[in-house]
A = this chain, B = another copy of it.
Amino acid sequence: MTLSREQAHYLFGVMRLTEGAEVALFNGRDGEWRARVDEAGKRGGMLACVEQTAPLVLPPDLWLLFAPIKKARTDFIVEKAVEMGARRILPVSTEFTNSERIRQDRLQAHAVEAAEQCGATYVPEVAELARLDRLLADWPDGRHLMFCDEGRAGQPVPLPDIPGPWAILIGPEGGFSEAERSRLHALPFAHPVALGPRILRADTAAVAALTLWQSMLGDWR
């Protein structure tokens, strides 16, 4: 593969690799590879894949939808979604969403870093910010949606044991609006789930919901 200027700078400027050196490569789609530096230059270079060292391991078909919050906590949700094994990450805007903008490219880069950290060979796609009502209007057939309903805090509302593709929806810090809650409750593919008697921050709720799903329906079983 040919290297970009940034990649060449990192490998040959920062890490000071020379021709013949070996590195571990992953692109989020083809597993992990051992690769050799064939050409090292300040502005570019060439790597040759030698052998695959780990296969691509896909997480279960689970999407995480969340309403973006303050920057640090949004980054955190993306990091946690990767570690916890979400297949796709979809920032959504709701009536009470605090932040109307995201930097999709920055969040995607954050997902790559998180995958490196946790030894995952798969990197979930971070989608552009979309409106929740539009996503729900155009919802894919057969995908179930678990939404964390603050109105039911303290009641035991367990996750239904239905296999197949799922999505988790984490509301904004201000909660869903009444109109959103009524709509969610009326959707045949949506299932309310309560996350205990205390109010959770959105980032905590994301990890907790992913844990419940993975341990019951996902690859933690």
Residues of chain A at the chain B interface (Cβ within 8 Å): 57, 59, 79-80, 83-85, 117-120, 156, 158, 194-201, 204, 207-208, 210-212, 214-215, 218-221
Contact = CB atoms under 8 A, between A and B. Distances in A.
A156 B120 CA distance: 19
12 contacts: A59-B198, A80-B204, A83-B198, A83-B199, A83-B204, A85-B196, A118-B199, A156-B220, A156-B221, A194-B220, A196-B215, A208-B210
A219 B199 contact: no
A126 to B, nearest CB: 18
Given A83-B198, A119-B199, 18 more contacts: A79-B201, A80-B204, A83-B200, A84-B200, A84-B204, A85-B196, A117-B199, A118-B201, A119-B198, A156-B221, A158-B215, A196-B214, A196-B218, A197-B219, A204-B207, A208-B211, A211-B211, A211-B212
A27 to B, nearest CB: 18
Q: Mostly helix, strand, loop or mixed at chain A's interface? A: loop
Contacts of A84: 196, 198, 200, 204, 208
A214 B201 CA distance: 16
A218 B196 CA distance: 9
A118 B150 CA distance: 12
Nearest to A80: B204
Contacts of A218: 196
A198 B156 contact: no
